[in-house]
Structure 1
Amino acid sequence: MIDISGYNALEIPPELEKVVRDAIKQGLNGLKTARRGGRIDRMALRTAAMFALCCVTLLNLSPRFAAAAAELPLLGPLARVLTFREYHCEDEIKYIDAEIPQIDNTGKSELEQRVNLEIQAIMDDYLAQSELRAKGYFDAFVAAGGAPEDFIPLGITMGYDVKHLSEDCVSFTVYHYETRFSAYNTVDYYNLDLESGRYLTLRDWLGEDYREIAAGSIKRTVSSWSQEQRDMLWQDISFEELIDESTDFYINQDGRAVVVFEKYQAAVGAAGALEFEIEPAGEG
């Protein structure tokens, strides 16, 4: 396991403020972000029990771009996506590396509570399922005559990736990966409108003609692919039919929507998940 304690202890240098200020100033565009509706469940006791044997580190801030940009004189307070908890746990059947994020500084306390509870509930559930699979793999290995000391532990990685941060919106993903089977890998997309305090959809971001705009942009991208790449798409695929208000997407640093099709959704498994940056109407 890689020791990142030194990295996490680093202080963000004062001169970074100008770099962050300039970067965010270029990225502000007044648009809004999106996500489909969420789900929240009680999980505090389950969380405590699940990680009782793990090494738990509570972090005030993680040295990420979002933390550096939180208090800029030019823009005023910005929302932050930061590491709330880190978990590192290892035993004979599994090893876990997890970063649990939370949002704050949005000016919308109800939004923060709702999103943070949802993230923890989702990650709790993913981890519980992974631990059950690890136990199942181990038991099956030993039952088949394998020596316990020869079992290769299941690797479980959970974390997040900040995609876009501005006064108006926050876009980030929360992911869960396992080393055995990619079928259990998941990515959840969070696109938050900080003015309304709600998740928005692709329709909200691109407008009423979002299907035509997104599908047209995707088709132009595909037309530039090699024949070998195009052959990996399902025959007679209709991107218009694949796109609706629940379609996964995130906002990139340029403020553009990036539509994501899960593995097998638009192409053969070897293609993996497909991402398409969407050109705004009139740019194609």
Structure 2
Amino acid sequence: MKKKLEFMKEEYMRLNASEELKARVAETMNKQGNKHFTLRRRTAGLAACIAVLLIVSLNVSQSLAATMADMPGMSGIVRVLTFGRYAVEDKGFHADIVTPHIEGLLDKELEEKLNNDFKEYADSVIAAFEKDVKELKEEFPDSEIHYGIDSGYEIRTDNDKILAIDIYLVNTVGSSSTTHKFYTIDKASGKLITLKSLFKDGADYVSVLNSYLVGEMKRQNEADLNMFWVDDPEMGSFESIRQDQNFYINEDGLLVICFDKYEIAPGASGSPEFVIPEDIIRDIRK
């Protein structure tokens, strides 16, 4: 992972700034650029000179609300809403952070937990951004720094069985890193689906998925379709997914395994996703 972060930093060090500023930005990226994007909670506001537009409103996504109104097994008033939006534009500093909010799930405990997760995540991103901006402006008052955060949500699947939401975060410092958190909901039960819950009890789904993923990465590398870090002496090799690896179920009902930017490949590969053929997991899937 250290070598992967070094590779990432080389990409954004093309930033037109002093060597001192580059070092400071590199420090910021080290704190924020790993695949878990460790965020620091902080409630302090930006310095007075930063122009902040903070919109806290409940804006219904009308098209999505309409399509969700008749979901089987769920309340007729289920909606995905924009709970709040935080936006900053100040010279080279940029932030656009959108917080989603779900209403109408049958499982009210899950609904509350998801909405708390969404809000706490957005709050932590805002706090980290404000602290970094304040520190950078104090240390480099005469330098223009290009530093941005974009966070929001995308509906990946919305059919009669599955609702899948992707909460994404793009951190831009010359180049950019991207992290994702997926939530996949079974509409019939109103429950959150975990990767483990898709498979039979005791099934070694991690090994089965790893075998397919390694083979697919090598196939794409050999075909010059990608540059995955597998059997790579310099960048290390992909070894295994986590038991709680990011995933979602697509519109065709297929499992999609997801990785963050720079997690298994250079930045040019974006955030890789692998659609798992049904025959690969048919024998172990519930």
TM-score range, shorter chain: 0.5 to 0.7
User: Are residue 221 (structure 1) and residue 216 (structure 2) matched?
Assistant: yes
The change in CA–CA distance for 1:283 and 1:198 in structure 2 (over 3 A counts) is: closer
| CA deviation profile, 1:123-162 (whole Å, cap 9, x unmatched) | 11011111222222222322xxx26xxx245332111011
CA contact (8 A) 1:78 1:166 kept: no
* Post-superposition offset of 1:112: 0.9
Supply the distance in 1 between the matched residues of 2:136 and 2:102 (Cα, whole angstroms): 35
Count of residue correspondences: 231
| Counterpart position of 1:254 | 252
| CA deviation profile, 1:59-108 (whole Å, cap 9, x unmatched) | 341244x3121223887737432322233333456332222101122112
* Post-superposition offset of 1:269: 5.2
User: Are residue 274 (structure 1) and residue 267 (structure 2) matched?
Assistant: no
CA contact (8 A) 1:213 1:281 kept: no
| Counterpart position of 1:204 | 197
Of 192, 198, 201 in structure 1, the residue corresponding to residue 185 of structure 2 is 192
| Counterpart position of 2:229 | 233
Supply the distance in 2 between the matched residues of 1:73 and 1:162 (Cα, whole angstroms): 15
User: Are residue 111 (structure 1) and residue 107 (structure 2) matched?
Assistant: no
Instruction: Write out aligned runs for 1:119-198 (5 A).
Output: 119-142=118-141, 146=142, 151-152=144-145, 154-180=147-173, 185-194=178-187, 198=191
CA contact (8 A) 2:99 2:119 kept: yes
* Post-superposition offset of 1:254: 1.8
CA contact (8 A) 2:163 2:187 kept: yes
| Counterpart position of 1:82 | 81
Supply the distance in 2 between the matched residues of 1:46 and 1:89 (Cα, whole angstroms): 16
Which letter maps to 1:175? Y
CA contact (8 A) 1:94 1:131 kept: no
| Counterpart position of 1:40 | none
Instruction: Write out aligned runs for 1:55-74 (5 A).
Output: 55-64=54-63, 66-72=64-70
| CA deviation profile, 1:190-239 (whole Å, cap 9, x unmatched) | 12345565543222124424224423443553354252346542317886
The change in CA–CA distance for 1:232 and 1:70 in structure 2 (over 3 A counts) is: closer
Supply the distance in 1 between the matched residues of 2:264 and 2:170 (Cα, whole angstroms): 21
Q: TM-score, normalised by structure 1?
A: 0.66
3-state SS in 2 of match to 1:159 = strand
| Counterpart position of 2:28 | none
Instruction: Write out aligned runs for 1:19-58 (5 A).
Output: 54-58=53-57
Which letter maps to 1:192? I
> Mean alpha-carbon deviation: is it higher for 127-136 or for 52-61?
52-61
Which letter maps to 2:172? T
CA contact (8 A) 1:96 1:155 kept: yes
CA contact (8 A) 1:234 1:268 kept: no
State the identity %.
Answer: 28
3-state SS in 1 of match to 2:118 = helix
Supply the distance in 2 between the matched residues of 1:205 and 1:280 (Cα, whole angstroms): 12
> Mean alpha-carbon deviation: is it higher for 125-134 or for 185-194?
185-194
The change in CA–CA distance for 1:72 and 1:264 in structure 2 (over 3 A counts) is: closer
Q: Where does structure 1 lack aligned partners over 5 or more consecutive residues?
A: 1-42
Q: Which runs of 4+ in 1 moved over 6 A?
A: 73-76, 236-239
| Counterpart position of 1:95 | 94
Which letter maps to 1:124? D
Which letter maps to 1:233? W
3-state SS in 1 of match to 2:230 = coil
Supply the distance in 2 between the matched residues of 1:167 and 1:276 (Cα, whole angstroms): 23
| Alignment root-mean-square deviation, CA | 3.6
Instruction: Write out aligned runs for 1:4-19 (5 A).
Output: none
